Amino acid sequence: MAQLLYRLGRFSYRRRGRVVAIWGVILVLLGIGVATLGGSTSDALSIPGTEGQQALDDLRTDLPAASGATATLVVQAPEGQTLDADALAPVLQDAAALPEVVGVVDPTVSHAVSQDGRTGLVTVAYGTPLDGISQEAKDAFDEFGDSATTEKLKVVSGGELSQAPPEVGATEAIGVLVAAVVLVVTFGSLVAAGMTLLTAIIGLAVGMSVLLILTSYVDITSTAPILALMLGLAVGIDYALFISSRHRNNLADGLDYEESVARAVATAGSAVTFAGATVVIALVGLGIAGIPFLSTMGQAAAGTVLTAVIVAITLLPALLGFVGKRILPRKQRSGSIAPNAQDGAGFRWARGVIRFRTPVVIGGVVGLGLLAIPMLNMHLALPDGGNAPAGSHQRVAYDLTAEAFGPGVNGPLVIVVKGDTAESTAALAANVTSTVEGLDDVVAVQPGPVSESGQTQLITVIPASGPSTEETAELVRTIRDAVQPQTEGTSESIAITGTTAIGVDVSAKLAAALPIYLAVVIGLSFILLLIAFRSWMVPLKAAFGFLLTVGATFGLVVGVFQWGWAGALFGIDNPGPLVSFLPIIMIGILFGLAMDYEVFIVSRVREEFVHGSHATEATIEGVGHGARVVTAAALIMASVFGGFALVDDPTIKAIGFGLAVGVLIDAFVVRMTIVPAVLALLGDRAWSLPGWLAKITPNVDIEGANLRLTDTTPQADEPVASH
């Protein structure tokens, strides 16, 4: 691989004008494609193979009206007054005229008025499911409450329709600015820092453009582009940083510019390729869960990571050719380039870690284990209005409803009863109602609409607890256990659906898929690292270190977002359960990023070892040379992810916080501390393979052991670099 990338880097350097032009054409064509073919994201949430999803699918056939999305308007009279029919009438009339609305239910008719008569719930019905409603109709409903509010009546838009998709705003730019500062400090050159950011932005623009074009042909959730943006920007900067830093080290070792670029792409580029491959494997592996929106999120992010790798090994060497000596700090451009120092902070850190390797390993493992303790109490659920940002329409509506009617009204359960005849359906529905009414944590059981044939009936259950609480999740499981025996041995069926029930199903499905996902992703990456380093101990150590990172990261995420540790500092005013798909997404991304740092550091250690250094000295050299770039890379990634932790959306906030914390833990505690200590304990054994395994393991040479200095004199038709 090193030889192939060496030739690619050299070609890109020599033909830099053509390479840059090709990427420019690609950007222009994709820009035209986005402008003419770009679509919009979808809020569809399909969970195939679950009871809740099957019940929803059945309703679309048996009770089309009941399968349409519903929204809620919370109407409230001033303090000390009750709802006034004259004030309510224009609200009902205007709501019925909203785009795509097929019906509005007066709260005084549906008895959806609080005991004090001050608050009512207006049900707004749509003719299609949520994913079939246009964005214009959603926006019109979300803005309706503000326009309908008067001195006599407060109106707030609530329900699933009022949930605005997450947006990227100015707060994320903070992370990019911090990344720029880190790059300037690392390189000591504004040109080098700017080029690295430019490369990352170009790769991100290409990846995101392709994703936006695909929204016209594929259902892509609103969260997917945010995740792709977050990850694509972070790895794009890191990959460019790693290759550029290696180029500077090569120049310090006396190589000319062309040879330096080619060897940087051959060695650091090999590490980037393998690191990117592990990230892509982890993200594409999200499809193992069998949940379409999760698969789409993983594939979208994987696409931006793959683009970042391609840009780093093709466009970056071309740009390095144009930059020339400006990649160096100003004081090094006119004179000789200082050789690589062997007494820098990275070397001192490596020597200290190796000197105290045994207590370092024990202390690191115990410390991360203690941070992981809160993870044992992790509670998962789909987000509801109570998790929405304070002051948002959804949050205000949720709080008003909970205060007037109880929290369970915000997340009713829907039982779908299907019988062979109208009579058997009515009898079965009566039995279900009687059974459910006697259960704990049930406030009310209300009969719902019946299909034209009479063979399908809905029953609405109002829990006493909120939709995302463990008590309501347990109620769903209790109802299923209590009512399903009534249909055993018959063709009749009883199913529970609704947002809360689907959330329970999602959590259960993800919990079942997580061990398989971990086995497949870690297994494939183990093989990849085995091939890269020709060692079985290195990938085993990498996997164990990753488990330490995940445990500590989830412990902190639970502490902050579920238990409320320093919640005000992170804008969390209402701690609650974590979103159901957070663990598998964070595990996938963190695994890929952890392998990034593993490859970045260990590849340099391996390079020193195969070039004749003793195992301990190779570890010091590898960590010493890699510490500066890995430190910069980790700070950059943490800054980018930390910027996303500042957004209002609770899901994106939790993902951004978790990834930022996870990156810092993995880079500084695991990869730069525990890993060199373990390598020192293992010695030469770290790089050994059993004879039979060595024979069947390909030698891809990512450290460039087989490279030889080649003639760097340009051919007659090749441009001569001017530095």
| pLDDT given for residue 652 in this prediction | 83
| pLDDT given for residue 183 in this prediction | 85
Q: Which of 629, 626, 591 is nearest to 607 (CA)?
A: 626
3-state helix, strand, coil in the chain (%, to 5): 65, 10, 25
Q: What is the mean pLDDT of residues 356-373?
A: 95
How many Cα atoms sit within 13 Å of 522 on the Cβ side? 17
Question: In sequence order, which residues have a C-beta less than 8 Å from that of residue 17 and are 6 or more positions away?
Answer: 318, 719
Q: Judge whether residue 712 has pLDDT over 50.
A: no
Q: What is the mean pLDDT of residues 441-458?
A: 89
How far apart, in whole angstroms, are the C-alpha atoms of residue 93 and residue 81? Answer: 22
pLDDT in tens, 375-407: 999 888 877 888 777 788 888 999 999 999 999
How far apart, in whole angstroms, are the C-alpha atoms of residue 45 and residue 182? Answer: 39
Q: Judge whether residue 336 has pLDDT over 70.
A: no
pLDDT in tens, 536-567: 888 888 889 989 999 999 999 999 999 988 87
| pLDDT given for residue 709 in this prediction | 43
How far apart, in whole angstroms, are the C-alpha atoms of residue 478 and residue 470? Answer: 12
Reported as type and span, the H/E element at residue 415 is strand 413-418
pLDDT in tens, 209-253: 988 888 877 777 777 888 888 888 888 888 998 899 888 888 888
Q: Judge whether residue 457 has pLDDT over 50.
A: yes
Q: Judge whether residue 341 has pLDDT over 60.
A: no
How much of the chain exceeds pLDDT 90, in percent?
30
Q: What is the mean pLDDT of residues 353-377?
A: 95
Q: Judge whether residue 167 has pLDDT over 80.
A: no
Q: Judge whether residue 340 has pLDDT over 60.
A: no
Lowest model confidence (mean pLDDT) among 21-30, 273-282, 698-707:
698-707
| pLDDT given for residue 499 in this prediction | 79
pLDDT band at 587 (very low <50, low <70, confident <90, very high): confident
How much of the chain exceeds pLDDT 70, in percent?
92
| pLDDT given for residue 170 in this prediction | 60
| pLDDT given for residue 163 in this prediction | 61
pLDDT band at 717 (very low <50, low <70, confident <90, very high): very low
> Tokens 């919990």 label which residue?
511
| pLDDT given for residue 403 in this prediction | 93
The neighbouring-strand residues paired with 158 are 72
How far apart, in whole angstroms, are the C-alpha atoms of residue 145 and residue 226? Answer: 28
Determine contact, residues 83/118, Cβ cutoff 8 Å.
yes
Q: Identify the structural domains of the chain with CATH numbers, from first to last.
A: 1-42+190-333 (1.20.1640.10), 63-162 (3.30.70.1430), 343-386+514-700 (1.20.1640.10), 412-497 (3.30.70.1320)
| pLDDT given for residue 720 in this prediction | 40
Letter for the amino acid at 88? L
Start-to-end C-alpha separation, the chain = 29
Letter for the amino acid at 294? L
Q: What is the mean pLDDT of residues 630-641?
A: 87
| pLDDT given for residue 576 in this prediction | 84
- Angle among Cα 612, 617, 621 to the nearest 5 degrees reads 95
For the chain, give the mean pLDDT: 85
| pLDDT given for residue 708 in this prediction | 47
Q: What is the mean pLDDT of residues 175-180?
A: 81
pLDDT in tens, 104-128: 989 888 888 999 999 999 988 888 8
| pLDDT given for residue 722 in this prediction | 42
| pLDDT given for residue 716 in this prediction | 36
Q: What is the mean pLDDT of residues 411-436?
A: 91
Burial class from Cβ neighbours inside 10 Å (0-12, 13-18, 19+) for residue 355 reads exposed
| pLDDT given for residue 126 in this prediction | 86
